[in-house]
């Protein structure tokens, strides 16, 4: 593909050699004369000066060297993601049901759907148009998979789960397992039946070995466009909003509410019935106590989670403790000398 053609496909303008052939993408540091790279921040802007990339995706106000071939776009990182999909398209899967798959007689299969080897689909389920169910997947009874979904190998979806259009479920994730609900009687724990459901919105992506538990009563929900990293646990009756991003090894206890556009770092723990309001940010490793409310737009860090400024002040004070201890020891010594003189 030539630079001119790529710019036209992106709906953008280019400067430099529009006839240059491009064969792939690469990082700024390693890109060659036939590869595309992008300038996304100040650090990469400095590296771009010496980059050998054949074409750079740059912001509209890029003031870089005139000898470089560039395509000006509003959001270089987003444009680069689109370019990557152009050079490395998803492998096409031939529709059909593999001979080893087990599909109940009343399952509704949409046109162009693919059911891979040893997959199992239970009674009353519906599989959307052009949806791909990978090898070894288990789909329970009464499951709805929307159009264009991709289930990678060995995904498990329990009974009565609804998954919207364009969802991507990576290997090993489990949707609709029982929530962690028990009641105590005579010093013994008894299971509280988990009879609710799970509903997952359109264009949600759930990482490898992540778990989304069904509600005890009612529904566990994940909103449109939300992205969960690997090894994330969503407990029973959680409500995760739209366009939320959650990094790896984060856990949501039962009844947690995460509103729209929240960003959650890795290894965050959130206690039951806590609420995180829209556009808040939870720093990696922080802990949110049960029933705590994180206000809209707030950035919190630490355990227990507190506003970032407070957290940084605490860290600064901790760093001063050794000096403070030495000062206290010196004061004690001086006081002791004074007492001896009296």
Q: How far is CA 278 from CA 5, 49, 205, 211, 220, in A?
A: 40, 39, 20, 23, 18
From edge to edge, which strands make up the β-sheet containing 156-157?
A: 102-103, 120-121, 138-139, 156-157, 174-177, 211-213, 233-234, 251-252, 269-270, 287-288
Is the preceding peptide bond at 304 cis, omega within 30 degrees of 0? yes
Q: Find the catalytic residue in 236, 243, 261, 311.
A: 236
Question: CA-CA distance, 60 to 337, in Å (whole number)?
Answer: 71
Q: Is 236 labeled as catalytic in the residue annotation? A: yes
What letter would DSSP give residue 45?
H
- 193: helix, coil or strand? coil
59, exposed or middle or buried, with CB in 10 Å at 0-12, 13-18, 19+? middle
| Cβ neighbours around 231 below 10 Å, total | 19
Cα 48 to chain centroid distance, Å, stands at: 29
Q: Tell me the two tokens of residue 292.
A: 């705590």
Residue 222 and residue 257 in contact, taking contact as beta carbons nearer than 8 Å: no
Name the nearest CA neighbour of 200 among 209, 191, 190, 211.
211
**Separation CA 261–CA 279 (nearest Å):** 5
331 CA to centre of own chain: 53
Residue 225 falls in which region: left (phi positive, over 0), alpha (psi -120 to 50) or beta = left
Residues annotated as part of the active site:
236
């Amino acid at each position: 593909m030539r630079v001119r053609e790529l710019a036209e496909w992106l709906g953008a303008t280019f400067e430099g050699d529009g006839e240059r052939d491009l064969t792939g993408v690469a990082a700024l540091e390693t890109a060659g004369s036939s590869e595309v790279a992008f300038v996304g921040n100040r650090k990469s802007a400095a590296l771009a000066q010496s980059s050998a990339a054949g074409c750079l995706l740059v912001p509209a106000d890029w003031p870089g060297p005139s000898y470089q071939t560039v395509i000006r776009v509003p959001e270089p990182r987003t444009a680069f993601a689109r370019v990557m999909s152009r050079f490395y398209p998803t492998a096409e899967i031939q529709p059909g049901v593999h001979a080893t798959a087990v599909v109940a007689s009343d399952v509704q299969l949409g046109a162009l759907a693919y059911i891979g080897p040893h997959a199992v689909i239970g009674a009353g389920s519906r599989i959307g148009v052009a949806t791909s169910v990978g090898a070894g997947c288990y789909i329970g009874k009464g499951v709805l998979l929307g159009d264009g979904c991709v289930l990678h190998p060995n995904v498990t979806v329990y009974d009565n789960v609804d998954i919207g259009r364009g969802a991507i479920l990576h290997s090993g994730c489990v949707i609709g397992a029982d929530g962690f609900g028990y009641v105590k009687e005579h010093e013994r724990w008894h299971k509280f039946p988990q009879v609710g459901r799970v509903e997952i919105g359109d264009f949600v992506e759930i990482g490898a070995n992540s778990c989304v538990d069904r509600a005890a009563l009612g529904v566990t929900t994940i909103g449109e466009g939300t992205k969960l990293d690997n090894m994330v646990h969503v407990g029973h009756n959680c409500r995760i909003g739209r366009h939320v991003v959650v990094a790896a090894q984060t856990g949501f206890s039962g009844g947690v509410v995460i509103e729209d556009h929240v960003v959650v770092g890795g290894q965050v723990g959130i206690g039951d019935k806590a609420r995180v309001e829209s556009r808040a940010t939870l720093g990696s490793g922080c802990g949110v106590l049960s029933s705590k409310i994180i206000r809209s737009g707030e950035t919190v860090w630490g355990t227990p989670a507190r506003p970032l400024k407070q957290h940084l002040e605490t860290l600064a004070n901790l760093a001063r403790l050794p000096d403070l201890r030495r000062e206290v020891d010196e004061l004690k010594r001086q006081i002791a000398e004074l007492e001896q003189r009296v």
